[in-house]
Amino acid sequence: MSEHIVSVKVYLMIFVALMAGTALTVWAGLQNFPGRLNVIIAMTIAVIKAILVVLYFMHVRYSSHLIWVIFASALFWMGILFALTFSDYWTRTWL
Protein backbone atom coordinates (compact mmCIF):
# COMPACT_ATOMS: atom_id res chain seq x y z
CA MET A 1 0.00 0.00 0.00
CA SER A 2 1.54 3.28 -1.00
CA GLU A 3 1.76 6.24 1.29
CA HIS A 4 -1.05 8.70 1.51
CA ILE A 5 -0.41 12.24 2.62
CA VAL A 6 -3.33 13.60 4.61
CA SER A 7 -3.99 17.24 3.71
CA VAL A 8 -3.71 20.13 6.16
CA LYS A 9 -7.40 20.82 5.64
CA VAL A 10 -8.35 17.35 6.91
CA TYR A 11 -6.04 17.72 9.93
CA LEU A 12 -7.62 21.09 10.72
CA MET A 13 -11.14 19.69 10.43
CA ILE A 14 -10.28 16.82 12.79
CA PHE A 15 -8.70 19.28 15.22
CA VAL A 16 -11.84 21.45 15.23
CA ALA A 17 -14.02 18.35 15.71
CA LEU A 18 -11.88 17.25 18.68
CA MET A 19 -12.18 20.71 20.25
CA ALA A 20 -15.95 20.69 19.76
CA GLY A 21 -16.08 17.22 21.32
CA THR A 22 -14.15 18.48 24.34
CA ALA A 23 -16.51 21.45 24.79
CA LEU A 24 -19.52 19.17 24.40
CA THR A 25 -18.22 16.66 26.93
CA VAL A 26 -17.67 19.42 29.54
CA TRP A 27 -21.15 20.83 28.91
CA ALA A 28 -22.79 17.40 29.07
CA GLY A 29 -20.90 16.61 32.28
CA LEU A 30 -22.58 19.55 34.00
CA GLN A 31 -26.14 18.59 32.97
CA ASN A 32 -28.18 16.23 35.08
CA PHE A 33 -29.41 13.65 32.59
CA PRO A 34 -31.71 10.88 33.81
CA GLY A 35 -30.33 7.50 34.83
CA ARG A 36 -26.98 6.42 33.44
CA LEU A 37 -27.22 8.77 30.50
CA ASN A 38 -24.38 11.01 31.77
CA VAL A 39 -21.73 8.31 31.56
CA ILE A 40 -23.14 6.98 28.27
CA ILE A 41 -22.92 10.43 26.66
CA ALA A 42 -19.40 11.03 28.04
CA MET A 43 -18.12 7.69 26.74
CA THR A 44 -19.80 8.06 23.35
CA ILE A 45 -18.08 11.41 22.81
CA ALA A 46 -14.73 9.99 24.01
CA VAL A 47 -15.00 7.00 21.65
CA ILE A 48 -15.84 9.25 18.68
CA LYS A 49 -12.86 11.50 19.50
CA ALA A 50 -10.57 8.47 19.80
CA ILE A 51 -11.80 7.09 16.46
CA LEU A 52 -11.06 10.44 14.77
CA VAL A 53 -7.53 10.46 16.18
CA VAL A 54 -6.89 6.83 15.17
CA LEU A 55 -8.31 7.17 11.65
CA TYR A 56 -6.80 10.52 10.69
CA PHE A 57 -3.95 11.62 13.00
CA MET A 58 -2.67 8.03 13.16
CA HIS A 59 -3.44 7.44 9.46
CA VAL A 60 -5.19 4.10 10.04
CA ARG A 61 -7.83 5.02 7.48
CA TYR A 62 -5.10 5.01 4.83
CA SER A 63 -3.11 2.08 6.25
CA SER A 64 -2.92 -1.54 5.13
CA HIS A 65 -5.42 -4.15 6.30
CA LEU A 66 -2.70 -5.67 8.45
CA ILE A 67 -2.69 -2.52 10.62
CA TRP A 68 -6.48 -2.73 10.90
CA VAL A 69 -6.22 -6.34 12.07
CA ILE A 70 -3.54 -5.48 14.66
CA PHE A 71 -5.63 -2.60 16.00
CA ALA A 72 -8.80 -4.71 16.05
CA SER A 73 -6.95 -7.39 18.03
CA ALA A 74 -6.31 -4.82 20.78
CA LEU A 75 -10.04 -4.09 21.02
CA PHE A 76 -10.80 -7.82 20.95
CA TRP A 77 -8.48 -8.63 23.87
CA MET A 78 -9.79 -5.60 25.79
CA GLY A 79 -13.27 -7.02 25.23
CA ILE A 80 -12.19 -10.35 26.75
CA LEU A 81 -10.58 -8.55 29.71
CA PHE A 82 -13.77 -6.63 30.50
CA ALA A 83 -16.29 -9.33 29.59
CA LEU A 84 -14.74 -12.09 31.70
CA THR A 85 -14.11 -9.81 34.69
CA PHE A 86 -17.62 -8.41 34.73
CA SER A 87 -19.27 -11.76 34.06
CA ASP A 88 -17.77 -12.61 37.46
CA TYR A 89 -18.50 -9.39 39.38
CA TRP A 90 -22.02 -8.81 38.08
CA THR A 91 -23.19 -12.36 38.71
CA ARG A 92 -21.84 -12.75 42.26
CA THR A 93 -25.07 -11.47 43.78
CA TRP A 94 -27.09 -14.08 41.87
CA LEU A 95 -25.99 -16.81 44.28
Partner 1 sequence: MAESYTVEHGHAEQGHPALQHHFENMEQQREAATLGMWVFLVTEIMFFGGMFLAYTLYRSEYPAAFASASNHLDLKLGAINTVVLILSSFTMAMAVYSTQVGKRRNQIISLVLTLLLGVTFLGIKAVEYHEKYVDNLIPGRLIPGRPFDASGVHLLPGALKQNVEMFYWIYFAMTGMHAVHMIIGIGLISVILFFTARGRYGPEYYNPVEVSGLYWHFVDIVWIFLFPLLYLLGRHLEH
Can you tell me the distance from the alpha carbon of 5 to that of 77, in angstroms, rounded to the nearest whole number?
Answer: 31
> How many residues belong to the site for partner 1 (CB under 8 A)?
48
- Please give the backbone phi and psi of residue 35, each rounded to the nearest 5 degrees, phi first: 60, -135
**Judged by CB under 8 A, does residue 40 bind partner 1?**
no
- What kind and span of H or E run contains 38? helix 37-52
CA 48 to chain centre: 5
Can you tell me the distance from the alpha carbon of 26 to that of 20, in angstroms, rounded to the nearest whole number?
Answer: 10
**Judged by CB under 8 A, does residue 31 bind partner 1?**
yes
**Judged by CB under 8 A, does residue 38 bind partner 1?**
yes
**Judged by CB under 8 A, does residue 91 bind partner 1?**
no
For partner 1, the binding residues (CB under 8 A) are 1-3, 5-6, 8, 11-12, 14-15, 18-19, 22, 25-26, 29-33, 38-39, 42-43, 45-46, 49-50, 53-54, 56-59, 63-64, 66-67, 70-71, 73-74, 77-78, 81-82, 85, 89
